Amino acid sequence: MDTSSIRKLFPILSQTVNGYPLVYLDSAASAQKPTEVIETLKRYYEQDNANVHRGVHTLGSRATEAYEGARAKIAHFIHSERVEEIIFTRGTTSSINLVASSYIRAICKEGDEIVVSAMEHHSNLLPWQQAAKATGAELKYIPLQADGTFSIEDLENVITDRTKMVSVSHISNVLGVTNPVKQIATIAHKHGAVVMVDGAQSISHIKVDVQELDCDFYAFSGHKMCGPTGIGVLYGKKAYLDQMEPIEFGGEMIADVGLYDSSWKELPWKFEGGTPIIASAIGLGAAIDFLEQIGLDVIEAHDKQLTSYAVQRMKQIENLKIYGPEEGRLGLVTFNLGKIHPHDLATVLDTYGVAIRAGHHCCQPLMRHFGASATARASFYLYNTEAEVEKFLFALNKTKDYFKEME
């Protein structure tokens, strides 16, 4: 992959921060946007801005074609069997909440079980907590190993014939490890359970084939894959989506409205009430075009190599602790440096133009598992380079020296 050429396609990366060239290592939180996506949004607002599905005029027709065209691109991108299995949402959080609020609350009762792991992002934990409280179902956790991962054996011991839902992340936003989703789905389905996958971290780094994974639901956000903010996707097998009731009601999603009762449109529109997120959906379609032009295989190889390089170089820094397994990481490294608070560390790194994440990463149960209130996280994507890793390491050492002098 010609990273130097790719970097030129991201205008934001050409700037300096605090007198240093920007080193953006926070793509796990939100990826930067290429010119192609930015220009697509600009073109929509300048030439095609209109509501979709309603008007018969030219602008409305063009907007509808682009909006539904983006849905078709997404279906192809994740290998969905049907276009109508693609539901536009505000993001991964909204997608998971839709399943928890509609599907699970309708089928769960006291004595049933919902299974998750303690490595999950809060977006894949809080909706299930609330669903369990509302239905009387038991929320069960897959035990974690010392490094924060879980074993298939422990998963098998937790799932029972009373389990209705198993929800796991595809790639952890703290550990960077890829969970064996296909194997998890096989085990869950043997017990009659449905499988939800949080794909927020995986969708931008690896090829996703929902049919091969055999997951029942898959959720992801556009902003982590070079697309706009405020747009996400819920993939669901048609059989389950057909069973589900909408949780938002209004225009766009109705077939017929009476004074005392109404009926809904068919999939996917029954879940997209109100004016949809038109521009961002079209922008997400452009982001998918961009990623496919480069190739997810190429992106995955680059991100693996860069992550491995960063881990090996970071291990050479005294008193730097890396969380999670060293092998099999993709896209990120979570760490702490001595007794320096992660927020202080990130603040000093920013003075050298290096942007990283600091905090609990919306994974407080996992932080408690490690006995840490917070950690720092450097994450990498297709536009990052080994030279940037070296600048990051330089800033880390400078930060270490600074706090040593403060002692």
Q: What is the pTM of this model?
A: 0.97
Residue 220 lies in a domain: yes
> Is 362 among the residues known to form the active site?
yes
104 shares its domain with 221: yes
340 shares its domain with 288: no
Torsion of CA 274, 54, 229, 238, to 10 degrees: 70
User: Catalytic pick from 108, 215, 362, 363?
Assistant: 362
Look at residue 176 and tell me whether its pLDDT is greater than 60. Answer: yes
Look at residue 178 and tell me whether its pLDDT is greater than 60. Answer: yes
110 shares its domain with 93: yes
Residue 84 lies in a domain: yes
391 shares its domain with 324: yes
Residue after which a domain boundary falls, among 293, 323, 339: 293
CB distance 58 to 198 below 8 Å: no
Residue after which a domain boundary falls, among 251, 272, 293: 293
Residue 31 lies in a domain: no
Residue 134 lies in a domain: yes
Residue 44 lies in a domain: yes
263 shares its domain with 185: yes
265 shares its domain with 184: yes
Look at residue 405 and tell me whether its pLDDT is greater than 70. Answer: no
Domain containing 189 equals: 37-293
79 shares its domain with 167: yes
121 shares its domain with 251: yes
CATH of the domain at 349: 3.90.1150.10
313 shares its domain with 244: no
* Strands, sheet with 194-198, edge to edge from the N-terminal-most edge strand: 86-89, 232-236, 217-221, 194-198, 163-169, 113-117, 138-142
pLDDT band for position 406 (50/70/90)? low
Report pLDDT digits (tens) over 351-368.
Answer: 999 999 999 999 999 999
222 shares its domain with 278: yes
CB distance 355 to 22 below 8 Å: yes
Residue after which a domain boundary falls, among 293, 325, 345: 293
172 shares its domain with 313: no
